[in-house]
């Protein structure tokens, strides 16, 4: 089991994100950002992982994450993404989107740009105007895309006061998360179990493609795109299932994997080692999924402190027609045959694990138990 270090921070953590390492650099991740929710005052904060390894009074490892700086945030932090090395974009339950700038010289974090009414409800049953939570944000310099409970999609550019493009009634249900597929294309997931692909080159307000799990309208909460194969997407939702999709083929997921016992809040492919995937859940668990093919005769077992429990799954479509060497291990894996290894990363179940992020050998996650967990040894 990887050593994982906890630090209790007296606020419920809704989001955790590593600061990106400059491309081509050999540095490992050292700084991460957090956002809080459901506190009297919420904050966006920057931390340094410091020296890990002090034993606490319970015999666990106590993290020495150092708070570098923080800034008050109005409303719950619903999503958090680094725009570049210095700037962080925060999505608020008030519908506001804020860009924070880190000043390393005096360790301060200040709001440098804001779109105060990015998301709002209008129409019957509401006052003439009321705010709607901004639920998701994704950045691809110079662009920022936001989605919200109002079913609206905004395309912003840093240093522009107004949205460059808004799709007003993109969805009649809540949009929960968004990711870029390719530069002009984004993919959203919603509260009735649909994935929708949008192409900003097209002028209309209609998605270019809709995928969903037939018959089920289980809300989807999270999505991540495979870093090397842009047609491969993972989603998680209210039923805790992990779904793997190939957006080139059909409208159904390729694999449905039985996972958590409650809502899956986030799913992330490892950015440089995408045969590894990480999920976290309302049920208090944080899982590492290993679909790499270099482990001989892997058994489909769930590891937790030496105990194993079997892992149920089924593969929906047969991928035999696609040239095997070009396929992501997530598409070629028939989980019943090829086996995926799952490891539980937290020593014991806690309150909801709301967010996680991975970069190189490092993982960070945040929980409703007011703890931040960090490991530097994911693959040791």
- Asked if the structure places residue 323 within a domain, the reply is no
User: Any idea which residue has 């920057």 for tokens?
Assistant: 46
The confidence score (pLDDT) of residue 127 equals: 66
The pLDDT of residue 230: 92
Percent of the chain with pLDDT strictly greater than 70: 83
In a domain, 325, yes or no: no
Element (H or E) spanning 331, and its range? helix 329-332
Q: Domain for residue 81, yes or no?
A: yes
Predicted confidence at residue 51, as pLDDT, reads 58
- How far is 360 from 50, CA to CA, in rounded Å? 17
- 172: in domain: yes
What local confidence, expressed as pLDDT, does residue 39 receive?
A: 94
Split into its structural domains, the chain has a count of: 1
Q: Do 296 and 341 meet the contact criterion of CB atoms below 8 Å apart?
A: no
What is the percent of the chain with per-residue pLDDT over 90, rounded to a whole number?
A: 66
Q: What is the predicted pLDDT for the residue at 294?
A: 57
**Is residue 324 classed as helix, strand or coil in its secondary structure?**
helix
Mean pLDDT value of segment 159-183: 93
The predicted structure's pLDDT at residue 22: 84
Q: What is the pLDDT of residue 238?
A: 96
**Span 300-359, pLDDT tens digits:** 444 443 333 334 343 333 333 333 334 578 887 555 545 789 999 998 888 999 999 999
Cα–Cα distance measured from residue 226 to residue 330, given in angstroms and rounded to the nearest whole number: 9
| Domain at 368, CATH number | 2.130.10.10
Over range 247-259, report the average pLDDT: 88
- Comparing CA positions, the residue from 284, 370, 298, 371 lying closest to residue 341 is 298
Per DSSP, which regions of 49-96 are E strands?
54-55, 61-62, 66-73, 77-82, 87-92
Least confidently predicted of 8-12, 58-62, 81-85, 221-225:
58-62
pLDDT at 62: 57
Torsion of CA 155, 20, 363, 290, to 10 degrees: 70
CA distance 188 to 162: 22
pLDDT for residue 298: 40
Q: Has residue 315 been placed in a domain? A: no
Q: Bigger pLDDT: 237 or 380? A: 237
What pLDDT sits at residue 368? Answer: 97
DSSP state, residue 149:
T
- Across the range 231-235, mean pLDDT stands at 96
Is the previous residue joined to 209 through a cis bond, with omega within 30 degrees of 0?
A: no
Backbone angles phi, psi at 53, to 5 degrees: 135, 15
C-alpha 110/C-alpha 68 separation (Å) is 13
Phi-psi region of 284 (alpha: psi -120 to 50; beta: other; left: phi over 0): left
Q: What pLDDT does 293 receive? A: 65
Give the residue with greater pLDDT, 20 vs 50. Answer: 20
The CA distance from 278 to 162, in Å, is: 36
Can you say whether the dihedral through the CA atoms of 174, 39, 363, 257 is positive or negative?
negative
**Tokens standing for residue 244:** 């793997």
364 pLDDT band, cuts 50/70/90, is very high
Q: Quick one: which of 43, 32, 59 has its CA closest to 10? A: 43
Lowest mean pLDDT across 161-175, 259-273, 303-317, 338-352: 303-317
Q: Which domain holds residue 169?
A: 5-53+61-292+336-375
pLDDT band at 63 (very low <50, low <70, confident <90, very high): low
Question: Would you say residue 42 has pLDDT above 90?
Answer: yes
pLDDT at 380: 73
Tens of pLDDT, residues 88-137: 999 999 999 999 999 999 999 999 999 999 999 886 566 677 899 999 99
Question: Which residues 6+ apart lie within 8 Å of 306 measured at CB?
Answer: none
Q: What is the mean pLDDT of the chain?
A: 85
Q: What is the pLDDT of residue 308?
A: 33
Would you say residue 112 lies in a domain? yes
What is the full DSSP assignment across 106-175? TTEEEEEEEETTSSEE-STTS-S-EE--EEEEEEETTEEEEEETTS-EEEEETT-SS-SEEETTS-SS-E
Mean pLDDT calculated for residue range 60-80: 87
Question: Model pTM?
Answer: 0.88
Note the pLDDT of residue 125: 61
pLDDT reported for residue 112 = 96
């Amino acid at each position: 089991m990887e050593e994982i270090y906890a630090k209790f921070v007296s606020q419920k953590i809704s989001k955790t994100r590593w600061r990106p390492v400059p491309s081509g650099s050999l540095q490992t991740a050292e700084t991460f950002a957090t956002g809080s929710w459901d506190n009297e005052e919420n904050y966006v904060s920057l931390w340094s992982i410091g020296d890990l390894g002090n034993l606490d009074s319970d015999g666990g490892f106590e993290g020495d994450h150092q708070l570098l700086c923080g800034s008050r945030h109005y409303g719950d932090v619903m999503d958090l993404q680094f725009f570049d090395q210095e700037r962080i974009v925060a999505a608020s339950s008030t519908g506001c989107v804020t860009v924070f700038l880190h000043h390393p010289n005096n360790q301060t974090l200040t709001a440098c740009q804001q779109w105060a009414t990015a998301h709002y409800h209008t129409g019957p049953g509401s006052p003439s105007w009321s705010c709607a939570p901004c639920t998701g944000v994704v950045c691809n310099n110079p662009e920022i895309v936001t989605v919200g409970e109002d079913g609206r999609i905004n395309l912003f550019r840093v240093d522009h006061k107004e949205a460059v493009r808004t799709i007003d009634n993109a969805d009649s249900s809540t949009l929960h998360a968004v990711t870029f597929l390719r530069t002009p294309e984004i993919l959203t997931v919603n509260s009735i179990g649909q994935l929708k692909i949008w192409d900003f080159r097209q002028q209309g307000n209609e998605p270019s493609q809709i995928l969903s799990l037939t018959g089920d309208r289980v809300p989807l909460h999270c999505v991540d795109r495979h870093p090397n194969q842009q047609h491969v997407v993972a989603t998680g939702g209210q039923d805790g299932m992990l779904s793997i999709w190939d957006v080139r083929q059909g409208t159904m997921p390729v694999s449905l994997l039985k996972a958590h016992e409650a809502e899956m809040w986030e799913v992330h492919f490892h950015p440089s080692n995408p045969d590894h995937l990480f999920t976290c859940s309302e049920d208090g668990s944080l899982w590492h999924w290993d679909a790499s093919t270099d482990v001989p005769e892997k058994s489909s077992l769930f590891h937790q402190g030496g105990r194993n429990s079997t892992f149920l799954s089924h593969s929906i479509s047969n991928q035999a027609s696609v040239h095997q060497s070009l396929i992501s291990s997530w598409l070629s894996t028939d989980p019943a045959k090829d086996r995926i290894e799952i490891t539980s990363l937290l020593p014991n179940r806690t309150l909801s694990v709301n967010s996680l992020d991975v970069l190189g050998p490092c993982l960070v996650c945040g929980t409703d138990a007011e703890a931040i967990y960090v490991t530097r040894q994911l693959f040791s």
